[in-house]
Amino acid sequence: MLPLAAVVFLAQQPETLSLLEEPLYAPPVPKAERARLEAELAEASAEVGRDPANAAAVLRLANAQRGLGRIGDALETLTRAVEGKAATPEVRVARGHGLIAIRKFELAQREFRKAAETRPDARCDVGFTLYLQADYKQALDEYGRCAADPGPFKYLAARRAGVDAGARPAPAADPGRASKDVKFPGAVPTKPARQDTSVAATYMNAVDRLIAGDTAGAKDLLKSIVEKRKTMWMEPVYVAAESDYARILKDEPKKKKKKK
């Protein structure tokens, strides 16, 4: 007989497929956080049931579903709202984020463009979808029309478009990461300090190598993100890394053919 953990894993259905056509599963959620999200889900679901046009409740429900890793359920919630009476710009932006998570970049861009008609900060989201599709000049143009914080992607789009990008922004720390080592006051370390680089920093280093023409070096860094940080598959920086990695792999057979 299979161990219980193996049975649970085999029974779990993937939420979507990556750009490499690999299954992506709901990431683990700590017990206390899961209880909080499930309570929020139940409360918001009841509110939406009473008033389907309540956009705030729709967003709370979709956020709880997404937090639990149920991106398919969150998209269904948001799609019903868009098709019904709760098609607010905020709901469209949230649906666009869900579409990015399932790797539907063009569909996500349509949602963001509709939202941007009345919510200009959605231009940053339009820019991100263009960045993911390697249209860096258009991405930079959209970022220039957005007053919100674009994160590192405006800088990266500028560099990849070949224009002045200004100072390199500080990479963000990974969400929810904390050291697992227990450190007592006054304890003398027995191991050298480990260099722990965030996914954002690793990705920015990979882009530096791509710009410098070091595709092999970039590929190694991107592979380390895609293979070792898979629980972050819904995070924008992970999606960006996966997009670049998939393009490198797609181009490799073409290069081999040219050598023959």
Per-residue model confidence as pLDDT tens digits over 131-144: 999 999 999 999 99
Contact 59, 94 (CB under 8 A): yes
Element (H, E) at 16: strand 16-17
pLDDT tens profile 21-59 = 999 999 999 999 999 999 999 999 999 999 999 999 999
Query: 119 vs 6, which has greater pLDDT?
Result: 119
End-to-end Cα distance, the chain:
51
The CATH number of domain 15-118, selected from 3.40.50.10610, 1.25.40.10, 1.10.357.10, 2.170.190.11: 1.25.40.10
- Report the sign of the C-alpha dihedral through residues 241, 125, 147, 53, in that order: negative
pLDDT tens profile 86-129 = 899 999 999 999 999 999 999 999 999 999 999 999 999 999 99
Contact 251, 229 (CB under 8 A): no
pLDDT at residue 254, as a whole number:
62
**The two three-digit tokens of residue 1, written as one number:** 């007989």
Query: 175 vs 254, which has greater pLDDT?
Result: 175
Is pLDDT at 74 greater than 80 in this prediction? Answer: yes
CA–CA separation, 217 and 210 (whole Å): 8
Helices (H), strands (E): how many in the chain?
12, 2
Query: For the residues 201-216, what does the mean pLDDT come to?
Result: 97
CA–CA separation, 5 and 200 (whole Å): 31
- Count of Cβ atoms closer than 10 Å to residue 33 Cβ: 13
Identify the burial level of 184 via C-beta atoms within 10 angstroms of its C-beta, where 0-12 means exposed, 13-18 middle and 19 or more buried. exposed
Q: For 109, what's the count of Cα atoms within 13 Å in the CB-facing half-sphere?
A: 16
**Beta bridge partner(s), residue 24:** 16
Q: Assign 149 a pLDDT band (cuts: 50, 70, 90).
A: confident
Is pLDDT at 8 greater than 80 in this prediction? Answer: no
pLDDT at residue 176, as a whole number:
65
Query: For the residues 214-241, what does the mean pLDDT come to?
Result: 97
- pTM exceeding 0.75: yes
DSSP characters over 187-207: PPPSSPPP----HHHHHHHHH
Q: Assign 12 a pLDDT band (cuts: 50, 70, 90).
A: confident
